[in-house]
Copies of this chain bind each other. A is one copy, B any other.
């Protein structure tokens, strides 16, 4: 954080009162004891609890974990859908001072095993439907002393090679409900998520109690939720602490709905509880909202979701997705931005009251595609490749740097990752974007997709899209390669349409691009190819392209 804080005049406040996340549920159970938690089971039936009942189960979970040997500082993994037991783990594990290790059920066994070993997990809680995932990594997991099976069944009905195993429900049944939670130092770890970038091994972010508590308060300030709201936990709870909603909802006192297990081939049915439970707020990715919209489209009677807000992250929601939700149901998509490293809330896109008056309807829709403005509490800036702050003109792209109480300062036990932080404590997001004079951020590229040319940046994604917009172009890829004078210059690969083969010229492409790009940004040449190198999942393989054309400007 740069310089050491300065000690001022002493205060009389209770500054030694530690921010402990479990106290959020403890207080909520007192002030909103009858508020509802709904957990949907695989067969579609719904379990209903009050906050008070959930808190009672959390207290018993705390005692049960201690009984089987969990101690302060132990990491306890969870492999589960968005279930009430997952929610209980969010409070019970950190409540006794252990660390909630969230395990992404979508990882390869190699990566998942790596995470469990890197975290040195002592126990793993696993839903009965996910036992095969745990079994696939059990052989590599040297530190794991036991598996707690999340099931309503008797253990004798569970067929598994995992050993030893415990029944979660049996443990709770026999546990004492009275607990005296330890007061944890707020800088101790509450939980951990591992990021899964496209390169390298997963990296661990260990969130402190203080971090998670403050983040919940930030959502409380920004999400415009009250105890009359009903929040639907769509975003997986193994992603960035479930986007902080399992804590914030209880801080706010709202109803909480958990979808449970879902079938990736039938995401649309996730739309069902929107109406049946009266959902007013949810959070997820466009990849979830899209199939849900298709499901809604097919309904005879469209649900009235007027006033509902769908917080949308992970990728940019398309204009048509936002418009269709609004027109079909009245629900508003609210674009937000964050990352595992930021707990995650960094920006939220709400329309400021003066823009409400000044902008046309089209301009408002266009604005909604931006990631939003930074929530108060974080230092957010956009910098050039020398870390100099760029003008807030909505045009100059640079890397987004983020600093604040719910941002990670490092990756756990990850030598070499220091380069992702600046000397004065900012996290380098790796995202490239612009910020306009109102503070709205628009993410344009990943920084590695920007081309550094003569001290300025050129967006390869923009140039790619613009090239592909030429009617004679079938496919195009743009990447930066080394240049003796300008550091990097763009190389444009073009696959012409069959009918245009041999007719399309370099000048055609450059003239086309000149309508959108400044002269210095235009490519020096264009390469016509039969095919663009692709990765195994069908994305342009920029690494191969860069390698093939590395000498083109030398």
Q: Give me the interface of A with B, judged by CB distance under 8 Å.
A: 1-19, 23-24, 27-28, 30-35, 72-75, 97-99, 182-190, 204-211, 214, 217-218, 220-222, 224, 226-228, 250-253, 255, 350, 352-354, 356, 373-379, 403-412, 425, 437-439
Contacts and interface: CB of A to CB of B under 8 A. Distances in A.
Given A1-B183, A188-B8, A252-B221, A406 B24 contact: no
Given A183-B3, A376-B27, A206 B9 contact: yes
Contact of A184 (B8, B18, B377): B8
Contacts of A227: 350, 352-353
A410 B12 contact: yes
Contact of A405 (B1, B8, B17, B404): B17
Contacts of A403: 14, 17
A185 B375 CA distance: 22
A76 to B, nearest CB: 11
State the 3 A-B residue pairs at the shortest beta-carbon distance, nearest first: A220-B221, A8-B188, A11-B208
A13 B206 contact: yes
B410 A97 contact: no
Contact of A15 (B10, B74, B186): B186
A33 B373 CA distance: 11
Contact of A97 (B6, B72, B221, B438): B6
Contacts of A187: 10-11, 13, 15
A224 B221 contact: no
Contact of A376 (B24, B188, B214, B377): B24
Contact of A12 (B12, B18, B204): B204
Contacts of A439: 30-33
A6 B72 contact: yes
Nearest to A10: B189
A6 B182 CA distance: 7
A9 B251 contact: no
A8 B34 CA distance: 32
B352 A17 contact: no
A353 B218 CA distance: 23
A364 to B, nearest CB: 14
A251 B7 CA distance: 24
Nearest to A353: B228
A228 B351 CA distance: 9
A97 B11 CA distance: 12
A46 to B, nearest CB: 18
A11 B221 contact: no
Nearest to A228: B353
A522 to B, nearest CB: 34
Contacts of A409: 12-16
A33 B438 contact: yes
A5 B186 CA distance: 8
